[in-house]
Structure 1
Amino acid sequence: MTDPALRAFAALLPDGDLSCAVSDALERGGALSAAFRPVWPGARLLGPAVTVRTFGTDLSAVFSAIDTAPAGSVLVIDSHGVTNSAFWGERTTRAAQARGLAGAVIDGGCRDVSAVRRLQFPVFSTAVTPNAGLGGAHGAVNVPVAPGGQPVLPGDLVVADENGVVIVPRARIPGVLAAVEALLAAEQALLARTASAADLQPGPAE
């Protein structure tokens, strides 16, 4: 990542639970629905979104996105909630790794879970199914999408870990980073000085 804000965010990812702090910085919002779950335990990702809008069970746009996505980006695939066909699997994982992509978020199905886990490629999806998607020539790349009803534009920041997936609008990335750093510092200071239930209660949303 060349953007300083993205590098700073990436440095926070290994600590775990970054999505929670990012959601807090977004006025306790920004998360995709709870249906988005990691395909394998411990998966986490962070990077700018390359968006994909599929058509029916046609996954050709996914391969088009992989071929053109910059290294470090995250594919956000809006399959309109299709869960009986997979839009990701071992072949897409290997192609994405060869391009240096950071992960994939799918409003739809994933397959080849053992291979994806073995390859340690972060994938978050709303379903797992052995049914493969079909080839074709439909769909679009780098267009506005709304996986799970949450608007995502190309270049928005995607943060995901075992808590879920959070989207940071591109224009808000620097401000959210500053808020996250302040929140994490305040939380560490609070936890260091008290274990009182009363003191640890969250305050009202800003």
Structure 2
Amino acid sequence: MIEEPPLLRIRRKFPRPSAAQLAAFKAVPTGFLCDAMNGKGALATAIAPLDLAQPAICGPALVAQNGPEEIFATIAALNLIQPGDVVIASVDGWQGGSCAGDQITGMMKNAGAAGFVTDGPMRDREGVLATGLSCWCTGLNPNSPYGKGPGSVGYGAVVGGAQVNSGDIIVADENGVVVVPFARIDEVAGKLAEVKAAEDALEAEVKAGKKSILDLEEMAKEGKVVFDD
């Protein structure tokens, strides 16, 4: 037999990005961030904005690891929120009920959270939107979760196919949620200007009438393309 785990494991002190590091990612489109990380970094497509009109967010992750059907760690995370935090609630992808509703998200907003992200559904859509807290989830389901534990707060979890650790930078907009690992913050920030310049240049060419990217004839001369007609 094994020992019963504690109801909660909490890490109150974890590395957090500086104000200057966070500023480098403010108002940056999620697509630019993925380009700066070799085309990766986004959570699964199922994790989508609760409302397309809600504000984009950027902030440090505060991860609450719940089990399926659980909300205990998310409730505990309310005591640890620092202004600007993005609460990440993992339920191991469970889709059978709600991971949070308007009362929980209302308390997150009162505590200064910038947003909420979960790999499960939410409920009380109208009430959640009224709180003004930007949320990303997999959909809506009115079933209730349980608050029994065990769970952990301040560590990490796999959410939407990606490892998310407390202290990582979360950027989320109408296109989805992107995780910038804490160890890569400065590296990724350093690539953003180059990514933006390349995107701006291509956008200008498209607006000027550009119709394609590949020169198929030239590639054929190099043996990279074969025309069978």
TM-score (norm 1): 0.87
Residue 182 of structure 1: aligned partner? 194
Q: SS where residue 129 of structure 1 aligns?
A: coil
Q: Deviations over 1:41-72 (max 9, x none)?
A: 13322111111110232212101112112111
What is the rounded CA distance, in whole Å, between the counterparts of 2:160 and 2:201 in structure 1? Answer: 36
Indicate which of 174, 177, 183 corresponds to 1:171: 183
SS at match of 1:127: coil
Task: Name which one, 1 or 2, has greater alpha-carbon Rg.
Answer: 2
Aligned residues: 196
Q: Distance in 1 between matches of 2:152 and 2:162?
A: 18
Q: Which has the higher helix share?
A: 1
State the match for 1:118 in structure 2. 130
Identical residues among aligned pairs (%): 31
Counterpart residue number, 2:114: 102
**Distance between the aligned counterparts of 1:200 and 1:155, measured in 2?**
41
Q: What does residue 135 of structure 1 align with?
A: 147
Q: Residue 154 and residue 200 in structure 1: after superposition, are their counterparts in 2 closer, same or farther (change >3 A)?
A: farther
Aligned counterpart for 2:212 among listed residues 198, 201, 205: 198
Hey, what's the Cα distance between the residues in 1 that align with 2:90 and 2:76?
14
Contact 1:42 1:161 in 2 (8 A): no
Q: TM-score, normalised by structure 2?
A: 0.79
Q: Aligned partners of 1:140 and 1:24: how far apart in 2? A: 32
Question: Aligned equivalents of 2:161 and 2:135: distance in 1?
Answer: 19
Q: Which one of 9, 12, 15 corresponds to residue 25 of structure 2?
A: 9
Q: Residues 2-38 of structure 1, C-alpha deviation per residue, up to 9 Å, x if partnerless?
A: 520201211x24xxxx110001111001111111111
Q: Is 1:158 the equivalent of 2:170?
A: yes
State the match for 2:59 in structure 1: 47
Shift of 1:200: 9.5
Alpha-carbon spacing, 1:123–1:200, altered in 2? closer, same or farther (3 Å) = farther
Residues 60 and 168, structure 2, Cα contact 8 Å, conserved in 1: yes
Cα RMSD over matched residues? 2.0
